[in-house]
Structure 1
């Protein structure tokens, strides 16, 4: 299980949403399956945890023009075989981002009060790494590498294609809100799940895997 509660989530373009939340990062609780398995979910290798600046990496090549707002319907990640529907995620009574229900292991969610993937700004997708019945939608998120693609199918019939430029692991007690959720002048995407080691005594992950990607094509 994951619980996302950053100090400031990316607001929807042209509609500023001020969020004052108590705890930064993602508090990761596990439903029990982790303690019975022998191998943890993959974590990014050291080379993948050194983010490149997207502007510098792209050089002078212009990216595709931002898309208008349109609800995302599915997320597809070819390297890990993810092909999952997306549900809307809002804030719970504690002003934390809610999570997809653990009854569906192949379900992710997007922050509905942020920008939609493909629009200008930083869009956010999150999902479970595992549940009490086994691996979940983002179990292999840490295996992504620079240059991999993430495809987000939108309600308007277009697919926003994002290219990964960094994969990082952050401690749950020292989560860099601005680095992860900060505003962007181009269409960016963050995909998050639990990771960074596991505390068997408390049955919880110690941190978060975060994938940084920018829109590189429209299909």
Structure 2
């Protein structure tokens, strides 16, 4: 996979960011809801960086309201024995979402331009499926099922428990932008990684694996 100048790892684009719009059920997306392209590093060794176009133009800032919550520090998915400290990632110079270094594929990251877990809206956590010749923290994300729990440790040491209500494996070209990034009536969580068959010709996985979860009341 090609490396961007100044990046800590290789990158492949996930077609996963929204401009303003309406999600299924009539929920309005947050103001310019994460209007960008998500980049997931470590998904496509040898794949060229896609050309810049309208979809990858400079994006608007996400309309995430201020919060008094401290950033999350850890995530755990008991079903797949996955546990990781959480780093914070922001945006690359082209406004795409950066990923944790490919050299540490067992570390997940919270996208700090999404809501803090526990606040209203879809908090986004990204992780590698593999990297540096080894499985990544979300290598087994596809095994998560409805009813499973995801634990997020907040900055005050409190454990927030989310329950999975939907899982999805979808082709990159059909990434469900509104479903993932649209505003929600309560606190939710999105876990995203690469998935599906590894296409050696294309140099990457063909799909994305997405887990949707809601904060337990």
TM over 0.5: yes
Query: How far did residue 69 of structure 1 move?
Result: 2.2
Change (3 A) 1:159 1:9: farther
Task: Please give the residue correspondences for 1:136-175 in structure 2 after superposition, counting only pairs within 5 Å.
Answer: 136-175=136-175
| 1:83 counterpart residue number | 83
Work out whether residues 108 and 137 of structure 1, in 8 Å CA contact, stay in contact via their aligned partners in 2.
yes
| 1:30 counterpart residue number | 44
| 1:41 counterpart residue number | none
SS of 2:174's equivalent in the other structure is coil
TM-score by length of 2: 0.74
Are 2:22 and 1:8 aligned? no
Q: Deviations over 1:136-187 (max 9, x none)?
A: 1000000001111000001112111000111101111111100111100101
Work out whether residues 187 and 215 of structure 1, in 8 Å CA contact, stay in contact via their aligned partners in 2.
yes
Work out whether residues 41 and 102 of structure 2, in 8 Å CA contact, stay in contact via their aligned partners in 1.
no
Query: How far did residue 113 of structure 1 move?
Result: 1.3
Query: How far did residue 19 of structure 1 move?
Result: 4.9
Per chain length, whose mean CA-contact separation is higher, i.e. which structure has more relative contact order (CA < 8 Å, sep 6+)? Answer: 1
Q: Which segment drifts farther, 191-200 or 207-216?
A: 191-200
SS of 2:178's equivalent in the other structure is helix
Task: Please give the residue correspondences for 1:43-62 in structure 2 after superposition, counting only pairs within 5 Å.
Answer: none
Are 2:208 and 1:198 aligned? no
SS of 1:104's equivalent in the other structure is coil
Query: How far did residue 2 of structure 1 move?
Result: 5.1
Give, in whole Å, the separation in 1 of the partners of 2:167 and 2:215: 16
Query: How far did residue 26 of structure 1 move?
Result: 5.8
Work out whether residues 165 and 214 of structure 1, in 8 Å CA contact, stay in contact via their aligned partners in 2.
yes
SS of 1:118's equivalent in the other structure is coil
Give ranges in structure 2 of 5+ residues lacking alignment: 1-10, 21-29, 47-66
| 1:111 counterpart residue number | 111
Give, in whole Å, the separation in 1 of the partners of 2:35 and 2:150: 30
The count of residues paired between Structure 1 and Structure 2 equals: 178
Change (3 A) 1:164 1:19: closer
**What do you get for the CA RMSD once the two structures are aligned?**
2.6
Q: Deviations over 1:189-218 (max 9, x none)?
A: 00000012221112201110000100015x
SS of 1:72's equivalent in the other structure is coil
